[in-house]
Amino acid sequence: MTRQLKREVKIGNIKIGGTNPIAVQTMLNVPVKDIAGNVAQAKRVAAAGCQIVRVTVPSPSDAAVVAAIKEAVDIPVVADIHFDYRAALAALDAGADKIRINPGNIGGEDRVKAVADACGRKGIPIRIGVNGGSLEKELLAIFERTYGQIKRRDVLPMMALRSQDKKELLARMEPAEEFVLVDGYNIIFAWDELKEIGRDSLDAARHVLMNLLCNYQGYRGCNLILVFDAYKVPQNLGMVEKYHNIFIVYTQEAETADSYIERVTYELRGRKRVRVATSDNLEQLIILGHGAVRVSAKSFHDEVMQTQQEIERILAQNNQKNQ
C-alpha cells in the first residue's frame, strides 16, 4: 500500500500528515460528567501508548473535562462537539488542542465562522465531519428510498471553513461484506451500565454507546449502522449522520427503530451478511425471514467488551515494542 502524502497538521505536541508517523488516537468512553473517571482513563490510555485522546463536550459547562485531562496527561486533547457551537468555544478556552465539529448540525454559517475564527486566533486545527455526503452509495440509496432525498445541510458551513483554509478529508464507508445494525435504545436499556448512565442523562448513554461501537467497528471492519427511535418527535423527517467510522440513523416521526431495521435487512437480503443487535424477540422473526442473523443484547455486549479488551491488549503490546 502506498501512503498518500497529505498536508502536515500540528495537534498540540504531535504532528500528523506529511511524512510523520501515523499517530495512535482513541476516544474516552466515560460519561462526560464523571471528570475523575475521564482523567483516570486518559492516564491509562496515555500509559498504554496512545498519543492523542478525544473526549465528547456536549455543552459549554462540560468543557471542564478538557481542562482536567490537560492537567493530568501530556498528550493532545481533542474536543468532540455536537450541536452547540458554544461548547467548541468553551473547549478552546479550556485548552483543547483540536476541535472536531459537524458543520451541518451546529447551526448557521455565522456559528461555524465563530468557531473557525476562534480556532484561527489560537492556531488550533479543526476536524470536519458531515452528514449524508460520506455515505456509502448502497446505504444512502436505502435511506433515500425510506425518507426521500437528503438535503446537504453542510454546504454553506463547509464553504465558510474552507475559505479559512480549514480542510479535512471526508471519510467514506469502507467496502465490507458484513453489515451490523444496532437498535440503539433497545441496547441502552438492555446493558446495565448504559441503563444506569441513562437514568441521569440519555444523551450521555447514547454517546458512550456510540464511542464503544466506533472501537468495535474499527476492529471488526464491518459497516455499522446505529438506529435510534425518533418517532415521537413531531414533524421529524429523519436524519442520518456519519459519526467517526459508524453511521447513525434517527428515524422519522411515526417510524420505530425496529421498522427501519426491518426495511434495511429486506433491502440487503441475499447480497450482504447482516447481523442485528437487539433484544426484541418479535423483530427476530421478521429479520430472520430476510436472511439476517439476530444477536442478543447480552451476546453483543460480550462481543463489544471483548473487542475493547483486545484493543487494549494490542495497544499495550505495541507500547512495549516501542520502549
Task: Convert the pLDDT of each residue in 53-67 to its tens digit.
Answer: 999 888 899 899 999
9, 72, 122, 144 from 89: Cα distances, Å: 20, 21, 11, 34
Least confident span in 155-159, 212-216, 295-299: 155-159
Q: How confident is the model at residue 273 (pLDDT cuts 50, 70, 90)?
A: confident
- Give the dihedral sign, CA 137/143/146/147: negative
Q: How far is 74 from 111, CA to CA, in rounded Å?
A: 30
For residues 75 and 28, the answer to whether their CB atoms sit within 8 Å is: no
238 Cβ contact list (under 8 Å, min separation 6): 143, 146, 147, 230, 249, 250, 251, 252, 255
Cell of 187: 441496547
Asked if 172 and 267 touch (Cβ cutoff 8 Å), the reply is no
pLDDT at 275 over 50: yes
pLDDT at 212: 93
Residues 6+ apart with CB under 8 A from 214: 27, 243, 244, 245, 246
For 200, what's the count of Cα atoms within 13 Å in the CB-facing half-sphere?
Answer: 9
Q: Which long-range contacts (CB under 8 A, 24 or more apart) does 163-167 make?
A: 164/113, 164/116, 164/117, 164/120, 166/116, 166/119, 166/120, 166/125, 166/126, 166/128, 167/7, 167/128
* Better-predicted residue by pLDDT, 289 or 130: 289
pLDDT band of residue 292 (cuts 50, 70, 90) is confident
Residue 202 has pLDDT above 80, yes or no: yes
Residue 56 and residue 100 in contact, taking contact as beta carbons nearer than 8 Å:
no
Cβ contacts of 149-157, under 8 Å, gap ≥ 24: 150/240, 152/104, 153/104, 153/105, 154/102, 154/103, 154/104, 154/130, 156/108, 156/109, 157/103, 157/104, 157/106, 157/108, 157/109, 157/112
**Average pLDDT along the chain:** 77
pTM attached to this predicted model: 0.50
Q: Taking 60 as the threshold, does the pLDDT of residue 140 lie above it?
A: no
Contacts 24+ apart (CB under 8 A), 234-237: 237/147, 237/148
Reading the block at residue 63, the C-alpha cell is 468543557
Percent of the chain scoring above 70 in pLDDT: 71
Of residues 97 and 154, the one with the higher pLDDT is 97
Mode of pairing for the β-strands spanning 9-11 and 14-16: antiparallel
C-alpha cell at 222: 464491518
CA nearest to 311, candidates 172, 213, 242: 213
